[in-house]
Amino acid sequence: MASALHYQTIAGLSAQLAAGRLSSVELTRAVLARTEAVEGRIRAFNSRDEADALKQAADSDARRAAGRSRGPLEGIPVGLKDVIAVTDQPLTASSKMLANFISPYDATVTAKLKQAGAVLWGRLNLDEFAMGSSTENSAFGPTRNPWDLTRVPGGSSGGSAAALAAGTALATLGSDTGGSIRQPAALCGVVGLKPSYGLVSRYGLIAFASSLDQIGPFTRTVEDAAIMLGAIAGHDPLDSTSYRTDVPDYRTALAGKRGPWRIGIPKEYFGEGLDPEVGAAVEKAIAFYRSQNCEIKEVSLPHTQYCLDTYYIIATAEASSNLARFDGIRYGHRAADVTDVEDLYSRSRAEGFGAEVKRRIILGTYVLSSGYYDAYYLRAQKVRTLIRQDFLNAYQEVDALLTPTSPVPAFKLGEKSDPLAMYLCDIYTIGVNLAGLPAVSVPCGFTTGGLPIGLQLIGQPFRETELLAIARDYEQGHDWHTRVPSL
Q: Flag whether 177 is in a domain.
A: yes
Q: 414 in a domain, yes or no? A: yes
Catalytic residue among 14, 94, 95, 156: 156
Q: Determine, yes or no, domain membership for 269.
A: no
**pLDDT value for 259:** 87
pLDDT of residue 420: 85
Q: DSSP letters along 122-191, please?
A: EEE--SGGG--SSS-S-TT----BTTBTTB---SSSHHHHHHHHHTS-SEEEEE-SSSTTHHHHHHHTSE
Q: In the predicted model, what is the mean pLDDT of residues 147-152?
A: 98
**pTM given for the model:** 0.97
Domain containing 250 equals 5-264+396-482
User: Of 250-264, 362-376, 428-442, which has the strongest mean pLDDT?
Assistant: 428-442
> Would 293 be classed as within a structural domain?
no
pLDDT at residue 140 in the model: 98
- SS3 label, residue 197: coil
In this structure, the strands spanning 215-219 and 77-81 are: unpaired
Q: Among the ranges 327-331, 373-377, 466-470, which has the highest mean pLDDT value?
A: 466-470
Whether the CB-CB separation of 108 and 138 falls below 8 Å is answered with no
Q: What pLDDT digit, counting tens, does each position of 462-486 carry?
A: 999 999 999 999 999 999 999 999 9
CB atoms within 10 A of CB 308: 17
Overall number of domains in the chain: 1
Average pLDDT rounded to a whole number, residues 65-90: 98
Mean pLDDT, to the nearest integer, of 245-265?
93
Backbone angles phi, psi at 97, to 5 degrees: -60, -35
Q: Residue 487: pLDDT band by 50, 70, 90 thresholds?
A: confident
Q: Is 94 a catalytic residue?
A: no
Average pLDDT over residues 149-168: 98
Domain for residue 173, yes or no? yes
Give the phi and the psi of residue 213 in degrees, each rounded to 5: -60, 140
pLDDT category at 317 given cuts 50, 70, 90 is very high
* pLDDT value at residue 7: 97
Specify the range with the lowest mean pLDDT, choosing from 84-88, 246-250, 263-267: 246-250
> Taking 80 as the threshold, does the pLDDT of residue 3 lie above it?
no
In degrees and rounded to multiples of 5, residue 406 shows phi and psi of -125, 145
How many residues does the structure list for the chain?
Answer: 487
Residue 295 in 3-state DSSP?
strand
User: For residue range 199-240, what is the model confidence (pLDDT) as tens digits?
Assistant: 999 999 999 999 999 999 999 999 999 999 999 999 999 999
For residue 146, the SS3 value is coil
Is residue 337, in this structure, part of any structural domain at all? no
Please tell me which residue in 24, 134, 175, 180 is annotated as part of the active site. Answer: 180
Rg (C-alpha) for the chain, rounded Å, is 21
Distance, CA of 334 to CA of 327 (rounded, Å): 8
Mark whether 346 is an active-site residue.
no
Q: Quick check: is 383 in a domain?
A: no
pLDDT of residue 1: 42
- Whether the pLDDT of residue 326 is over 80: the answer is yes
Contacts of 32 (CB under 8 A, 6+ apart): 50, 53, 54
Say which of 14, 23, 60, 81 is annotated catalytic: 81
Residue 113: what pLDDT? 98
81 tagged catalytic: yes
Domain of 140, CATH number, reads 3.90.1300.10
pLDDT of residue 370: 87
| Helices of type H across 136-193 | 158-166, 182-188
Pairing, β 400-404 against β 262-266: parallel
Residue 325 lies in a domain: no
How many CB atoms are closer than 10 A to CB 42?
25
For 141-161, what is the mean pLDDT? 98
Q: What is the pLDDT of residues 218-228, one digit of tens each?
A: 999 999 999 99
What torsion, rounded to 10 degrees, do the Cα atoms 435, 436, 442, 447 define? 40
Q: What is the DSSP letter of 200?
A: B
Tell me if residue 91 falls in helix, strand or coil.
Answer: coil
Of the candidates 109, 101, 160, 167, the one whose C-alpha atom is nearest the C-alpha of residue 130 is: 160
In one-letter notation, the amino acid at residue 286 is I
Q: In the prediction, which pLDDT does 418 show?
A: 87
Q: Are 100 and 118 in contact (CB under 8 A)?
A: no
What pLDDT is stored for residue 183 in this prediction?
98
Share of the chain above pLDDT 90, in %: 95
Express each pLDDT in 23-72 by its tens digit: 999 999 999 999 999 999 999 999 999 999 999 999 999 999 999 999 99
| Greater model confidence, 419 or 361 | 361
